[in-house]
Amino acid sequence: MKKKILGFLLLGTIIISSFAGCSSDNKGEDGNIETVKGGVKIIDHPLEATVDGEVRCTGAFPEIKLSEEYQKKYPKLNDKIDEQNDYWSSGTHESVEAYAVGAAEDNTKYYDNAKIELKRFDDRLFSIIYRDDFMFDSDEETNWIITFNYDVATGELVKLSTVVTDEKAFAKIVREKLDEKYPKFKGTYDDYFCSDCADEDPFIYKLNNDTFNWLLTEKGLALYFSDYEIASTGIRTQMNM
* Cα dihedral 62, 68, 69, 71 sign: positive
Task: Give me the pLDDT at residue 25, please.
Answer: 38
Task: Give me the pLDDT at residue 180, please.
Answer: 87
Comparing CA positions, the residue from 106, 109, 115, 107 lying closest to residue 133 is 115
Comparing CA positions, the residue from 190, 187, 208 lying closest to residue 199 is 190
Task: Give me the pLDDT at residue 31, please.
Answer: 53
pLDDT digits (tens, 9 = 90+) for 62-88: 999 999 999 999 999 999 999 999 999
pLDDT band (50, 70, 90) for residue 38: confident
Longest CA–CA separation in the chain, Å: 57
What average pLDDT does this structure show over 221-227? 86
pLDDT at 102 over 70: yes
pLDDT digits (tens, 9 = 90+) for 161-214: 999 999 999 999 988 988 888 887 777 777 666 666 667 888 898 899 999 999
Task: Give me the pLDDT at residue 109, please.
Answer: 92
pLDDT band (50, 70, 90) for residue 6: very low
Q: Is 169 left (phi over 0), alpha (psi -120 to 50) or beta?
A: alpha
**pLDDT above 70 coverage of the chain, percent:** 77
Radius of gyration of the chain from its Cα atoms, rounded to whole angstroms: 20
Please say whether the beta carbons of 208 and 164 come within 8 A: no
| Annotated domain spans of the chain | 2-151, 160-240
In one-letter notation, the amino acid at residue 191 is: D
Task: Give me the pLDDT at residue 120, please.
Answer: 93
Task: Give me the pLDDT at residue 241, please.
Answer: 55
H helices present in 74-218, as ranges: 75-106, 167-181, 189-193, 202-208
What average pLDDT does this structure show over 94-122? 93
The reply to whether CATH 3.30.565.40 applies to domain 2-151 is yes
pLDDT at 138 over 50: yes
